[in-house]
A and B are shown apart, each in its own frame.
Chain A
Amino acid sequence: MSSVWLPCGDYHQNYVEDQGWWQSKFIKGKMILLLAIVFIGIPSLAVSPEGEYWVSVATMVGYTAMGALGVQLLIGFAGLLTLGHAAFIAVGAYTSTMLVLQFPWPQFIVDWGLAYPISIVAAGVAAGLWSVLFGLPSARVKGFYLILTTMGAQFITVDFVLTQYVSQIGGRGQAFSLPPGTIKIGPWVIESDVQIYYVMAVLLTLMVIVLANLIRSKPGRAWVAIRDNDIAAEALGINIVWYKLLSFFVAGFMAGVAGSFWVCNTAALSPEHFPWFLSLWLVGVILIGGVGSIQGAIFGSIFMVVIMELLQMAAIPIADYYPQVLFSFAYIKDMAFGLAICAFLIYEPNGLAYRWWQAKNYFNLWPFSY
């Protein structure tokens, strides 16, 4: 028996097969199909303006998913409740922007288009370390109290440090804008929706791979153990404080990468892009997608972003009759978010990932019930 469903008569003969990533031909085919859709299918929509719009929606899904993966790591795997993730995305975005705009790069790095890729890694590290700083209270407090300390990260970082000081650098007041052509990866200048989409797709794929690998190796197991039972975890040789901080670092790193991706998406940057509501939003995303699963973060992002887009599309014809709808659309959006979370917590607390798992099982066994 294996941890994944195998066709009748198909057995693993050795540990390599049993611990493999894609354990059957069917799964392998499915995953390759998924990658093909992500890397070829969706970008090829962009031939029409309508299609290009949906590509940018997919980019938003990816950005949300990048943020949500970090939250998933903290809440879903390590059991550390966080409500300040937007702060670390912001740190990443600002680090990346400052590096690209202000850092005296040697000319050859600019010519070869390495400044932005380097800044992505630097943003990850900076956000990761910043996140560790605010993860320190987790050595002492857990659960509800940790929510408050991570919220502190949000207010200190975004509302104080970034708004009051970092945003003022260069005398521009609030917003930074990146002149066209500054964001260059190798020979490509990232401008069009499709190029931005590709940056997102590559980064998101890497993140999913990294997180999935971590979960099935030593650090990931230690996180899950701390989530499930911290006393037993410590008795079995896990340095709890170290692994908690490590999870804050990795989650912060992911947030930093997401933040520096955001820079290439908008080409402008303001603290208003990272409100406390974004932190809450990301937690909502993983609640809806399913806490404790990587697919959950992705499903949640797809659901939330696409639902919001559909709402927006529905609002336009309705506005012909009730113009008020357009003016107060922001509130309708918030309401839909609240409603979705309530509905999921009551009717499907395990999230979309669980539903997906059930559906897969049903079809694996079909036409028999067990």
Chain B
Amino acid sequence: MVQVGELKEGDTILKLEDVHMSFGKVAALAGISLEVKKGEIHSIIGPNGAGKTVMMNCINGLYKPQRGSIYYKGQRINSLRPYRRAELGISRTFQKLELFGGMSVLDNIRLGRHIHLKSGIVSGSIYVGKTRHEELESRKFIEEEIIDLLEIESIRDQTAHMLPYGLQKRVELGRALALNPELLLLDEPLAGLNLEEVEDMARFILDINEEKRWKVTCILVEHDMGVVMDISHRVNVLNFGNQIMDGPPEEVQANPEVVKAYLGEEDLYSTRR
């Protein structure tokens, strides 16, 4: 077990080894192994019930796999609670929105800074001094790096649950980014968005993956094949808990088994183009 401090582009950041997870008799993951390289957008596709979200939850720590190992930067993280994994740099968004509904957009994103703040109950209750300084620093980061990037200046003081769905998705991405993660799990970030919002979101994902400031490795679970094939560096195809195929998007599209299991007989791009 080696703790690697700084990974170079192309090093393995996350590795799953023979991960099994079943609920009763349903095997949601039946021995999945995969490697995610730093700096990639790694997509996971598959029909409904293929185990994509279960895999995300295993990586994130919400589920504990019954067998197999998950390595993050060479460290086995199977036994770590989700909040410890977040401290290591794994952040995520959710398929069904899991925003803090009663808080303002700004507070939602501020909460994402949680692991970077240090005040406890004593300094927090005095506020003046350490906490005030820290809050201002974090505000500066949020405004200049996240709100500016995601173009949500106009809604920062609105209550999260009052926003339209597309904006809520964007706020959730902002909240996940506020952790300043190295690995970002995006669970269907495009589901339920209209074409314009999909294009915006794809642009944001590319930005945070490619911009020098962020360079976040992304794991993307998505059904929108057009976007997946366009932006991913690597695609994994799951079906009923088994991995069918792993490779660059072009190979995946050409694989007859994948087309049969998931993409259907029709032309791949017909859904979106």
Contacts and interface: CB of A to CB of B under 8 A. Distances in A.
A219 B136 contact: no
A350 to B, nearest CB: 12
Interface residues of B, number: 48
A244 to B, nearest CB: 13
B62 A231 contact: yes
Contact of B87 (A3, A210, A220, A237): A237
A266 to B, nearest CB: 28
A136 interface: no
A217 B94 contact: no
Interface stretch (B102-110, B219-227, B235-243, B247-255): B102-110
B67 to A, nearest CB: 23
A213 B124 CA distance: 6
Nearest to B160: A228
Contacts of A220: 124
Interface in A203-249: 209-211, 213-214, 216-222, 224-225, 227-229, 231-240, 246, 249
A2 B157 CA distance: 7
A292 interface: yes
B217 interface: no
Contact of A246 (B92, B118, B121): B121
Interface string B104-122: 1011001110110111110
B139 interface: yes
A216 B98 contact: no
A229 B83 contact: no
Contacts of A209: 125
Contacts of A229: 98-101
B114 A237 contact: yes
A250 interface: yes
Nearest to B143: A15
Contact of B100 (A1, A16, A217, A225): A225
A221 B114 contact: yes
A364 interface: no
A239 to B, nearest CB: 5
Interface string A334-361: 0000000000000000000000000000
A216 B135 contact: yes
Contact of B82 (A213, A214, A234): A234
B100 A224 contact: yes
A250 B125 CA distance: 10
A177 interface: no
Contact of B102 (A211, A217, A228, A239): A228
B127 A213 contact: yes
Contacts, number: 122
A217 B139 contact: no
Contacts of B143: 15
A19 interface: yes
A214 B92 contact: no
B126 A213 contact: yes
A219 to B, nearest CB: 5
Contact of A217 (B82, B106, B119, B157): B119
B101 A235 contact: no
A19 B83 contact: no
B98 A231 contact: yes
B81 to A, nearest CB: 7
Given A217-B131, A225-B100, A228-B100, A235 B121 contact: no
A194 to B, nearest CB: 28
B201 interface: no
A79 to B, nearest CB: 10
B127 A225 contact: no
Contacts of B106: 3
Contacts of B125: 209-211, 213-214
A304 to B, nearest CB: 25
Given A19-B135, A235-B92, A219 B100 contact: no
20 contacts: A15-B136, A15-B139, A15-B140, A19-B132, A19-B135, A213-B131, A219-B124, A221-B111, A222-B111, A224-B107, A229-B100, A232-B94, A232-B100, A233-B100, A235-B60, A235-B98, A236-B91, A236-B114, A237-B87, A237-B115
The 6 closest A-B pairs by CB, nearest first: A237-B86, A232-B98, A228-B100, A213-B127, A217-B124, A237-B115
Given A213-B131, A224-B103, A235-B83, 11 more contacts: A1-B156, A3-B104, A16-B136, A219-B120, A221-B110, A225-B100, A232-B98, A236-B111, A237-B114, A239-B81, A239-B83
Interface of A: 1-3, 15-16, 18-19, 209-211, 213-214, 216-222, 224-225, 227-229, 231-240, 246, 249-250, 292
